[in-house]
Structure 1
Amino acid sequence: RLILSLPLRSNMASSEENLDDYNIYSKLSDEELLQIAVERSLADTHLPPSSSSSSAAPTQTNPKLRQRHTPPPALRPPPAPRPPDISNSANPPTALSQFLYRGFKSSWCFSIFVLRQFSPLQSLIISGDAEALMDLVQRRCSSLMDPNDEGWIALHEAAYYGQLQCVRILIRAHPKSVNRCSLKNQTALLLATERGHISCVDFLLRHGADPNIANKDRETPLFTACEHPDEAIVELLLRSGAQVNYSCSQGGTALHEACRYGRPKLCRLLVEAGANLQTKNIYGIQPFFIAAQHGHVDIIHLLAQKGADINGQAGDGASSLYEACKNGHTSAVEVLLSLKADANRSTKSGLLPLHVAVQNNHTRIVSMLIPVTSRVRIRHSGISPLHIAAEKNRDNILELLIESGFDINAELSEERSRMYEDRRSTALYFSVYNGNLEAAKMLLEAGADPNLDLFNPLLIAVRLGWVDMAMLLLKFGANANAQISTQPSSFPSTILLNMECLPMLKLLLDNGCDARPCFDCPYGQKPHPAVTSSRHAPQRYIQFCEAVSSMSLCRVTGLIISMLLDYVCHVHLCSRLLEVLDSCSEWVPIKLKALPPHPLMQLCRLKIRHVVGVRRLKLLHTLPLPARLIRFLHYDVHCSLT
């Protein structure tokens, strides 16, 4: 930790004082001199001239890993003027001693030093003080070769910060250290490459640096130069014998990285140097795949001309075309298709490029893939693009697929259907489930069958009270008497799911929902057994009288029964229904409504509707009958025949 509170002098009163001050330091070790040198430099540079004593500067601790950032030259202030040399025959001044009275060359170095807690040696290298470093070399200071806690020696620091003069001094002093590795197996060459210091890279290569020493992740300087794209450094490394096909721990090569960052010139250099286009990383990905994945058209052209595998697939079966489609690279998809990329190669999950383009809402790409995608392969995949478009609410793409003639009633394969708890199978189901009225209308108008799913889509609309959706489905023939196989009832499940919503109930009854089973009770006028809700009890059919007499419906039970009576002939109310109606004096007329005889007009209306049949009720308006009679048959509540 730095000690910045030592008594320091910002101004020298006389040459005697200067000599005395210097004599104090003459007996100190190199490490002590460096420590005091930095402290004196900080004080001389940053304290006002009138200060007679220095104040302690707060030191901040950064718990994060080492982070080095070299400031742009334009931000560096001009170096502080050097003080006049002090003549002393007994202790001649050196660059190191002058460093004691000289400030840092930039305010940035000050902030880095204080905040990062760099050692005096690191700070000397950061500031690029070659003269002071030369003094340490001449003194044979052991700290130059002592590693820090990361295994870095002075050469690593100089290479990282791009201090060429310091690198020169250190290499000439310790030539064998040129390939010295840190604890992460980093050489000075790799660090200089990572930071893009081309002059240091060039010097190190000319003085014995091995370009094929990799770090612990097996990343060589060449790999790093492509990871931080630098064409000049790549050329230097290749001329110096860098192995172009060396793979990192993830299996990637320098060409993989050049393709990732979209550098055609780098790719060309690597290919001409012998880069293997078929090398796969641990995920089975080739360089061409990465170029397509990132939409780099120039590189796609280049590698294709050099013999890359256009239809190569990754470990999960994804092809280059699949990846370009997934990421929405329209130009890349266009180029790949012109190169005869196979649009019918599926992933291991069975998905084709068209599927993933629909999923990610790339309309232009979908339009390019439709003509080249096999409908047979789509059937084999077990899922239609229509399913995905409906599930993701891609209405524009859904319309495009419908116009292109895709099977509106295609069903999910059994395996894919089991992925959903409700065992859905049609595109229409997805649209209804999403509440997408516009998409549902498009599918129904194109010929979608609303009764193919195990769980009828109408049941969803009824349960959620979506009257408009239910009306649309019923208009196109949805089964108003649909049942739930997992929850059997003696009457239509459409009534069971939302009978308290009277407008929905009337809509169902108007469209042929059979109300008669609601009054077919096996107990009749006899006492009803108590309802058991134990999970271990055997499954039994739910009776209407049990459902309508629940506490949640007690306020509208009478209204529900009254509406149902309008759609049946002579029925008998069971003892439980009578008990419910007797609980409210306002419901007494409803009991009378159930008693025979029924009005002849009601019986005729029911007979006509029965003869017409449920599926043709929507065609009643085409009968050659008066308009008032048609409204009567439709249960128009505003119609009066009196």
Structure 2
Amino acid sequence: MATTSVSISGSRGPTLGSEDYSLYSGLSEDELIQLAVERSLADAYSSGSITAVTKTPAVRNESAWNQPTKSNPTFTRPTTHPPHNASVPINSLSIQQNQPSGRNAEPQHCTPSNEATRSYSFISDKGQRCVAWRRYDGSMYITQESEEPLDPIVEAIQKGAVETLIKMLWRGKSLANLNKQGWTPLHEAAFYGQEKCLQVILKAHPETIDSRTRKQQTPLLLAAAAERTGCIQHLLEMGADPNIPNKDGETPLYKACEKENPENVAILLNRGALVNKPCLQGWTALHEAVCRDNVEICEMLVRAGARLGATNMYGITPLFIAAQSGRDKALLFLIKKGADINTQANDGATALYEASKNGHEEIVELLLSQNADPNVATKAGFLPLHIAAQRGNDGIVSMLIPVTSKARVRRSGISPIHLAAERNKDEVLETLIDAGYDVNATLSHDRSTMYEDRRSTALYFAVVNNNTDATEMLLDAGADPNLDTFSPLLVALRQGSFQTVTLLVEHGADVNSVLPTHPTSFPGTVLFCMKYLSLLKYLMDNGCDALSCFQCQYGSIPHPPLKMTRHRDDRDDIGKSPPKFPFSYEDWAVIKEKSALPRPLMHMCRLTIRSQVGYKRLKHLDTLPLPQRLIKYLSIDRSHVY
């Protein structure tokens, strides 16, 4: 009878041929497995090469699985230090071949020489696996990643070849070794859902039932993640621990909820899975089920004792998750079960605040119908109305306006009108104005100092954004253009927006506004008009004090040098030239030229009378009790100016 011998640890052991295996064909599968296990263990002990396998095996860097080659078709049990795979030079670079195993195994990159610092795996347009290496000098070069043959055990498991596994056991093959990712054959069988193979492996190596990969994944967790119900049942029946988490703290129950598999959830709960065990982020299985809006699983978890008020590391409850992500079914379920509707996260945000922030109108309506408090502010002082106005959701703003306290809005130091104007949400701005919110509300001192220009009104935000529609809307509603420290008119002049300047001046903006940070003897509005002569002329026509530009205590003689005050801490500035101002005397050349030209006596009289009447009265010149001929005379006719 011809036989094929199997070498175990370098010593010749009992041989088993294919004909011998056929002699046992009359035995049942369980009897065959048991016989193979006993014979494999007897052979290993007789050779003295068996090693104990712990319940949670240590991770090894070398591949512990045997690899067939063309030169050596037999399989030998690995030694203590298995030989490394041969290096293959590619583009003058020696690269070690690594073999990943399992679907969730980490991608293996080739090991570069010392000149390479980082690698990136990708698939080329021809379908080849490649690795891009980055050298220390920043240059890149690309190599092809070699493809190694699949481990025979993994191949047998993936194909569900139970007889092949039994033959391997007869030949003394161990089914408890680890690959480079810490996966055992049991992990592979559980992940691929090969229940028969899993039974064979467990009977041969029951001690590996709770073994863990490098990511601390047990076979049960992999089966739950891959939705392998049969494997889950068998592992639990064989005593697998359902509460061993992976490195992220996720348990098999958590994975079953993530996959929305109620059957697996029920199996795990019936086998003692802890329903309130959190992951590293603090999420429980109920958090995950609510996030998936799966009411069926939520019901099962609550019946099993899931805490409705469980919080993650950010203080977020399952109800908060439902409102934040727009899960209306799960939200209604939690409310009916008695979850706190006004719970706050670590930053003070409520479920209503998050729903308003993310634009879930149905959720906001549901929360308000269940008496959610819209006047609970975050630690930043924002109410749900604030965030809804900032995000521009007009529907939510309309729902929140009737139930929001204006006193609480004032206490926050910022009006939703500010936020709507800042984000150019014109529809929301109009809704707030129609609801009676004060268009002249100013920011609190603390909030105003957050801006370098110390802005305080919604009108200022609209002008800064060059939003003419919002500016007109606010001005028509009664906004005062002279409340800010830095006048909105100066901003509009700097932008060169003639339309905005016209709107501000027509609604009473001070055309003689000064720069609070750079006081001058002439209006600051003149300074910003030097590049826009049409705007300068418009300001002069509307009462800007032009004479102040020519009234100087030094007259026409040169100005003395500026005396710069020096502080005690300014010693480093000694000897340096004085700072340059944003304007110079040459900037006034155009105005000086205009002032030097002779003016008709009639026009000079007109200017004198206008200065006596005053700018405020001139704005309403048609209503003055003066003869129509005099009113026409005082009205500046552009053809008579020069």
Q: TM-score, normalised by structure 2?
A: 0.75
Aligned to 2:171: 139
Q: Which whole-Å deviations, capped at 9, do the CAs of 1:113-154 have from their partners, x for residues lacking one?
A: 985764332222222222111212233422x11122222211
Q: Which whole-Å deviations, capped at 9, do the CAs of 1:84-104 have from their partners, x for residues lacking one?
A: xxxxxxxxxxxxxxxxxxxxx
Aligned to 1:511: 542
Tell me the secondary structure at the aligned position of residue 498 of structure 1.
coil
Please state how far the C-alpha of 1:531 moved relative to its aligned partner.
Answer: 5.6
What is the CA–CA distance in structure 2 between the aligned matches of 1:610 and 1:308, rounded to whole Å? 72
Compared CA separation, residues 69 and 463, structure 1 to 2 (3 A):
same
Aligned to 1:445: 476
1:214-293 matches, within 5 Å, as 214-293=245-324
Aligned to 1:74: none
Please state how far the C-alpha of 1:633 moved relative to its aligned partner.
Answer: 3.2
Matched, 1:463 2:498: no
Matched, 1:68 2:99: no
Tell me the secondary structure at the aligned position of residue 209 of structure 2.
helix
Compared CA separation, residues 465 and 117, structure 1 to 2 (3 A):
farther
Matched, 1:184 2:184: no
Aligned to 1:549: 585
Please state how far the C-alpha of 1:562 moved relative to its aligned partner.
Answer: 4.8
Conservation of the 8 A alpha-carbon contact between 2:191 and 2:226: yes
Aligned to 2:152: 120
What is the CA–CA distance in structure 2 between the aligned matches of 1:477 and 1:449, rounded to whole Å? 8
What is the CA–CA distance in structure 1 between the aligned matches of 2:585 and 2:525, rounded to whole Å? 17
Q: Which whole-Å deviations, capped at 9, do the CAs of 1:301-321 have from their partners, x for residues lacking one?
A: 111111101000000000000
Conservation of the 8 A alpha-carbon contact between 2:193 and 2:231: yes
1:307-386 matches, within 5 Å, as 307-386=338-417
**Per residue, is there more helix in 1 or in 2?**
1
Conservation of the 8 A alpha-carbon contact between 1:500 and 1:560: no
The aligned amino acid for 2:170 is Q
Please state how far the C-alpha of 1:402 moved relative to its aligned partner.
Answer: 0.4
Q: Which whole-Å deviations, capped at 9, do the CAs of 1:523-549 have from their partners, x for residues lacking one?
A: 1243322468999799xxx999x9562
Compared CA separation, residues 489 and 543, structure 1 to 2 (3 A):
farther
Conservation of the 8 A alpha-carbon contact between 1:489 and 1:543: no
Conservation of the 8 A alpha-carbon contact between 2:187 and 2:219: yes
Aligned to 1:46: none
Aligned to 1:8: none
What is the CA–CA distance in structure 2 between the aligned matches of 1:152 and 1:373, rounded to whole Å? 57
What is the CA–CA distance in structure 2 between the aligned matches of 1:442 and 1:209, rounded to whole Å? 69
Aligned to 2:12: none
1:69-84 matches, within 5 Å, as none
Aligned to 1:417: 448
CA RMSD of aligned residues (A): 3.5
Conservation of the 8 A alpha-carbon contact between 2:275 and 2:305: yes
Please state how far the C-alpha of 1:29 moved relative to its aligned partner.
Answer: 6.4
What is the CA–CA distance in structure 2 between the aligned matches of 1:411 and 1:203, rounded to whole Å? 68
Please state how far the C-alpha of 1:508 moved relative to its aligned partner.
Answer: 1.0
Please state how far the C-alpha of 1:34 moved relative to its aligned partner.
Answer: 6.1
Compared CA separation, residues 420 and 63, structure 1 to 2 (3 A):
farther
Compared CA separation, residues 130 and 492, structure 1 to 2 (3 A):
same
What is the CA–CA distance in structure 1 between the aligned matches of 2:262 and 2:553, rounded to whole Å? 88
Aligned to 1:35: 68
Q: Which whole-Å deviations, capped at 9, do the CAs of 1:354-406 have from their partners, x for residues lacking one?
A: 11111112111111111111101111111100000000000011011000000
Aligned to 1:429: 460
Conservation of the 8 A alpha-carbon contact between 2:195 and 2:230: yes
**Per residue, is there more strand in 1 or in 2?**
2
Conservation of the 8 A alpha-carbon contact between 2:347 and 2:379: yes
The aligned amino acid for 2:208 is S
What is the CA–CA distance in structure 1 between the aligned matches of 2:148 and 2:370, rounded to whole Å? 54
Please state how far the C-alpha of 1:240 moved relative to its aligned partner.
Answer: 1.3
What is the CA–CA distance in structure 1 between the aligned matches of 2:607 and 2:214, rounded to whole Å? 91
Q: Which whole-Å deviations, capped at 9, do the CAs of 1:284-304 have from their partners, x for residues lacking one?
A: 111110011111111111111
Unaligned runs of 5+ in 1: 1-18, 41-55, 71-107, 566-589
Please state how far the C-alpha of 1:600 moved relative to its aligned partner.
Answer: 4.0
Compared CA separation, residues 543 and 319, structure 1 to 2 (3 A):
closer
Matched, 1:473 2:504: yes
Q: Which whole-Å deviations, capped at 9, do the CAs of 1:188-217 have from their partners, x for residues lacking one?
A: 000110111112112211221111112222
Matched, 1:399 2:430: yes
Please identify, of 170-179 and 28-37, the stretch whose mean Cα deviation from structure 2 is larger: 28-37
Compared CA separation, residues 156 and 475, structure 1 to 2 (3 A):
same
Please state how far the C-alpha of 1:253 moved relative to its aligned partner.
Answer: 0.6
What is the CA–CA distance in structure 1 between the aligned matches of 2:521 and 2:503, rounded to whole Å? 26
Aligned to 1:574: none
1:41-56 matches, within 5 Å, as none
What is the CA–CA distance in structure 2 between the aligned matches of 1:529 and 1:386, rounded to whole Å? 49
What is the CA–CA distance in structure 1 between the aligned matches of 2:454 and 2:472, rounded to whole Å? 22
Aligned to 2:185: 154
Compared CA separation, residues 606 and 195, structure 1 to 2 (3 A):
same
Conservation of the 8 A alpha-carbon contact between 2:343 and 2:350: yes
Conservation of the 8 A alpha-carbon contact between 1:461 and 1:470: yes
What is the CA–CA distance in structure 2 between the aligned matches of 1:336 and 1:498, rounded to whole Å? 53
Aligned to 2:616: 615
Please state how far the C-alpha of 1:640 moved relative to its aligned partner.
Answer: 8.8
The aligned amino acid for 2:325 is H
Conservation of the 8 A alpha-carbon contact between 1:491 and 1:543: no
The aligned amino acid for 1:453 is D
What is the CA–CA distance in structure 1 between the aligned matches of 2:469 and 2:507, rounded to whole Å? 14
Compared CA separation, residues 65 and 489, structure 1 to 2 (3 A):
farther
Tell me the secondary structure at the aligned position of residue 179 of structure 1.
coil
The aligned amino acid for 1:138 is W
The aligned amino acid for 2:503 is L
What is the CA–CA distance in structure 1 between the aligned matches of 2:499 and 2:406, rounded to whole Å? 34
Please state how far the C-alpha of 1:560 moved relative to its aligned partner.
Answer: 2.0
Compared CA separation, residues 323 and 610, structure 1 to 2 (3 A):
same
Compared CA separation, residues 37 and 548, structure 1 to 2 (3 A):
closer
Aligned length in residues: 525
Compared CA separation, residues 504 and 358, structure 1 to 2 (3 A):
same
Compared CA separation, residues 452 and 265, structure 1 to 2 (3 A):
same
Give aligned-pair identity as a percent. 48
Aligned to 2:606: 605
Q: Which whole-Å deviations, capped at 9, do the CAs of 1:156-188 have from their partners, x for residues lacking one?
A: 111112222211211222223222222332210
Q: TM-score, normalised by structure 1?
A: 0.75
Compared CA separation, residues 513 and 119, structure 1 to 2 (3 A):
same
Please state how far the C-alpha of 1:491 moved relative to its aligned partner.
Answer: 0.6
